[in-house]
Amino acid sequence: MTFLLTGAAMSKSVDFLFTPFRIGTLALKNRIVMAPMTRSFSPGNVPGDDVAAYYRRRAEGGVGLILSEGVHPNTTTADGTPNVPEIVTPAAKEGWRKVAAGVKAAGGVMGLQIWHEGPYRNPAKSPHPDIPSWSASGLKVPEKPPLWAPMTEAEIETAIEEFVAAAVATKEAGFDCAEFHGAHSYLIDSFFWDMTNRRGDKWGGGWEGRTRMAAEIIRRTRRKVGAAFPLLIRISQWKQQDFAARAAATPQEFEKWLAPLVDAGIDAVHCSQRRFWEPAFEGSDLNVAGWAKKLTGKPTISVGSVGLSGEFTATYGGEVSKPASLDRLVEMMERGDFDLIAVGRALLQDPQWAEKIRTGRTNELKEFSKDALGVLY
């Protein structure tokens, strides 16, 4: 791996990144979050000792909040990516219990992300290729015909209860919080986006209907886990089908999207975008997380090409990303735009990234290439 001496030169102090923060009752020692990243190192859908050691190294490296890779809430309709872990089976739950215990022993804080692949599940790679994938209206790509029948009321009810059960299992396994993956065109997001939600019943139509599934998941989970267990949700304007998509065209629409989630009991909003510095709406330089904080008053997490020169989709095309300055990030956080920053690829390949930033060892930061995706550093 090449060490870069100049690309990450910074003129601003990074001290603010290492100030404490709280999500409800959950105390974090700093504002750096390890972003959820699919790793596919769990044969039989059970995380092993290598996965536990991988997360523990990030705790030892000083990350404030570790969010797990996406974890499936069932063994049938959610799973279309080999070796992605589950949480609901006894073996998987025990595997995650060891992960959580290892992170806690290293002084870390960790949450588990619950991820249903929805229309992006590949049935051919699933243990159950005969079972259709789930999507609000059976759509994967808006401009093309449906691939499956729209979800039935019974299927929606099943999906909600499976998310709830997975969140309860997350708490029982010893994690500090749970995050629902409601971004990137996966199941929950297929309900949020009007281009993939064409339903005419209570689960579709305007924002009240399109947020109903997520709100029900949050509300029912809150009743099960209690008030003190933080619940997060990840959302995104952009979609896998369309990087330029805006699920909410205006701040007013965005407020209608977020309000039902807040009313249901969400504690923090994790706003995914490809480049954290890009404004969400015209007339303001606030990014998506900035607007979410302004509109809800809830803690927000931003993410997107942090500490690297290229964004993540270019990685798959072979582009090598070099370390980049954090000056713009620090500026946005110091003025209060958002509260926490999720770091993906830089932490994927270097468990000591946060500590290197804290201690000014930027000459030790590394370039990132797609080869890193095949290793549990």
In a domain, 96, yes or no: yes
The long-range contacts involving 204-210, CB below 8 angstroms and separated by at least 24 positions, are 204/136, 204/137, 206/256, 207/253, 207/256, 207/257, 207/260, 208/256, 208/260
In a domain, 103, yes or no: yes
The model's pLDDT over 104-121, given as tens digits with 9 standing for 90+, comes to 999 999 999 999 999 999
Position 160 scores a pLDDT of 98
Backbone angles phi, psi at 68, to 5 degrees: -70, 165
In a domain, 4, yes or no: no
The model's pLDDT over 22-54, given as tens digits with 9 standing for 90+, comes to 999 999 999 999 999 999 999 999 999 999 999
Q: Which of 54, 55, 120, 186 is catalytic?
A: 186
Position 295 scores a pLDDT of 98
| Residue 186 bears catalytic tag | yes
Q: What is the mean pLDDT of the chain?
A: 95
Position 316 scores a pLDDT of 66
The model's pLDDT over 229-277, given as tens digits with 9 standing for 90+, comes to 999 999 999 999 999 999 999 999 999 999 999 999 999 999 999 999 9
In a domain, 2, yes or no: no
In a domain, 6, yes or no: no
The model's pLDDT over 120-174, given as tens digits with 9 standing for 90+, comes to 999 999 999 999 999 999 999 999 999 999 999 999 999 999 999 999 999 999 9
Q: How confident is the model at residue 318 (pLDDT cuts 50, 70, 90)?
A: confident
Name the residue range of residue 30's domain. Answer: 15-374
- Count up the domains in the chain and report the number: 1
In a domain, 334, yes or no: yes
Q: What is the mean pLDDT of residues 354-361?
A: 97
| pTM score, whole prediction | 0.96
In a domain, 3, yes or no: no
* pLDDT at position 5 over 90: no
The one-character DSSP state at 323 is B
Residues 6+ away with beta carbon under 8 Å from 36: 67, 68, 69, 70, 113, 115, 179, 181, 234
The model's pLDDT over 171-210, given as tens digits with 9 standing for 90+, comes to 999 999 999 999 999 999 999 999 999 999 999 999 999 9
Q: How confident is the model at residue 319 (pLDDT cuts 50, 70, 90)?
A: confident
In a domain, 338, yes or no: yes
CA atoms of 158 and 185, how far apart (whole Å): 19
* pLDDT at position 8 over 70: no
CB 271 within 8 A of CB 337: no
Q: How confident is the model at residue 317 (pLDDT cuts 50, 70, 90)?
A: confident
Q: How confident is the model at residue 313 (pLDDT cuts 50, 70, 90)?
A: low
Indicate which CATH number applies to the domain containing 221.
3.20.20.70
